[in-house]
Amino acid sequence: MVNLTIGEPDYDTPDHVKTAAVDAIWRGDTKYTHGKGTLPLRRAIVQKFKRDNDLTYDVEEVFVGAGAKQVIYNAFATTLNHGDEVIIPAPYWVSYPDIAQYHGGQPVIVPCSESSGYKLRADALAAVITARTRWLVLNSPNNPTGAVYDEQELRALGDVLKRHPHVWVMTDDIYEHLRFSDSKFTTFAQAVPELTERVLTINGVSKAYAMTGWRIGYAGGPRMLIDAMSKLQSQSASCVTSISQEAARIALIGEQGSIRENVKNLHEKRDLALSILEGTQGLSIVEPEGAFYLFPSCAGLMGKRTADGGRIDSDDDLVLHLLEQGGVAVVSGSAYGLSPAFRISIATSVDELVDGCQRIRQCCNALV
C-alpha cells in the first residue's frame, strides 16, 4: 500500500529547535504562561510579521494557540452568533466549515473552478455577501490545490469588502514559506492595509519547520478580538505548552536555511509527480504554486468502467478504485468541497511518490 494522504512534512524539526526545547526544560520553563502566549514568543511573532509581511502588531495584538486550528476555533467561538455566515471558497481545508458550524455559523461555500486557478474572484465574492455575513476565509497557499493569491487578486477582493464593513477576513497563511516561485508572498492585510482592523492573519510553525506535533499556531489581529480569544483560552486550555512555545520562538528567530532546502526538495517532488501523471487519461492538473499537494481534476473519468464492470460516477468511486485495485491511498475532492477531483500529498519519499503516481496512472489508463 502506498499512502499519499498525509498532510504533514516528511522532513524533521530542525536540530536547533529541538535543542531549544530541551534547554527550556532544564531551565525550568515548565509553568503556566499567559493565555496569549509567552512574551518572548509574542515578540518573535511581531518581528516575523514585520520581517516577512510588513505588518505591524503590538505584542497585545498577538495570540498563540495549540496549532492554527485552535486559533481558528477561538476566533469563530468568540465572534459567531447563530446563523452568522462564513464565506469559504472551495476547495477548502476540511476543518473550516465544521468549526464554523460547531459555533452556530452557516458555511457559505463558493466553488472555485479549475479555470479560475481554484481561486475566489471578486464577482463571486460580491454575489454571496449578505447582511448575515461575518467572515471570509482565505487560505494561501491553499490546501488542497496549492493555489497562491497575488497582490492584485487580493486587492480586487478587498475592493468588494470595502463596501461591506460588517465582514471580517480570516487568512490562513500556514503554507506561506512553502512556495515554488521567487515571487513575493502577499497576505491580505498587507495587500489591503486599509482593512487591517478587520483582518485576522493566522500562521504557525507546523509546515515550514516540520513542527506539526508541537502544536503552535498564532495570529495577529485587532486588540478587541485577540483579547476575547485569549479570555476563551484562559478558561479552556489555560495556555499552550511552555516548551513548545520556546521551540517556536527559536524557529522564528533562528536560521531559516532548512526552509529553503526543504522547499527545494518539495519543488523537485512536485515536478517529478507532474511528469509521471502528465498525459494520464481523464486527469487535468493545475500546477500548484505552493504547499505540498497536487489536486487533479478527474472529470474526464466520470462514466468510465473498471475491468470488473464497475462504474466510476464520482471522485469517491475513483479513490476507492485506486485503493482497491492500485493499492494507493489519496483523498477525494468531496472532502474539500469540490468534485470530481482528488488530493495527492507529495510529502513522502521519492520512491513512494514515484510508485504511487505510477499506480494512479496505470489505474486511470486502464478504465474504459
| 270 to 75, 172, 317, 335, 350: CA distances (angstroms) | 33, 22, 25, 22, 10
Q: Which three cell numbers stand for residue 117?
A: 486557478
Q: What pLDDT, on the 0 to 100 scale, is given for residue 121?
A: 98
Q: What share of the chain is helix, strand, coil (3-state, %, to 5)?
A: 45, 15, 40
Q: What pLDDT, on the 0 to 100 scale, is given for residue 168?
A: 98
For 117: left if phi > 0, alpha if psi spans -120 to 50, otherwise beta; the answer is left
Q: What pLDDT, on the 0 to 100 scale, is given for residue 75?
A: 98
pLDDT average, residue stretch 202-231: 98
Q: In what order do the strands lie in the sheet with 168-172?
A: 62-65, 217-220, 199-204, 168-172, 133-139, 85-90, 106-111
pLDDT average, residue stretch 319-332: 98
Indicate the SS3 state at residue 168.
Answer: strand
Q: In DSSP terms, which residues pair with 109 in a beta bridge?
A: 88
| Chain centre to alpha carbon of residue 146 | 9
Q: What pLDDT, on the 0 to 100 scale, is given for residue 306?
A: 96
Q: With bands split at pLDDT 50, 70 and 90, how would you rate the model's confidence at 266?
A: very high
Indicate the SS3 state at residue 157.
Answer: helix
What residue type is assigned to position 287 of the chain? Answer: E
pLDDT average, residue stretch 247-251: 98
User: pTM higher than 0.85 for the full model?
Assistant: yes
Q: What pLDDT, on the 0 to 100 scale, is given for residue 150?
A: 97
- Nearest alpha carbon to residue 121 among 144, 155, 146: 155
Q: What is the DSSP pairing of strand 168-172 with strand 133-139?
A: parallel
Mean confidence (pLDDT) of the chain: 97
Q: What is the DSSP pairing of strand 342-345 with strand 331-332?
A: antiparallel
Burial of 303 (0-12, 13-18, 19+ CB in 10 A): exposed
Q: What pLDDT, on the 0 to 100 scale, is given for residue 228?
A: 98
Q: What pLDDT, on the 0 to 100 scale, is given for residue 328?
A: 98
pLDDT average, residue stretch 292-319: 97
Q: Which residues, 6 or more positions from 55, have their beta carbon under 8 angstroms from its beta carbon?
A: 49, 187, 189, 190, 196, 201, 220
pLDDT average, residue stretch 23-29: 97
Q: With bands split at pLDDT 50, 70 and 90, how would you rate the model's confidence at 84?
A: very high
Q: Radius of gyration of the chain from Cα atoms? A: 21
Q: What pLDDT, on the 0 to 100 scale, is given for residue 14?
A: 97
pLDDT average, residue stretch 210-214: 97
CB 110 within 8 A of CB 124: yes
Q: With bands split at pLDDT 50, 70 and 90, how would you rate the model's confidence at 268?
A: very high
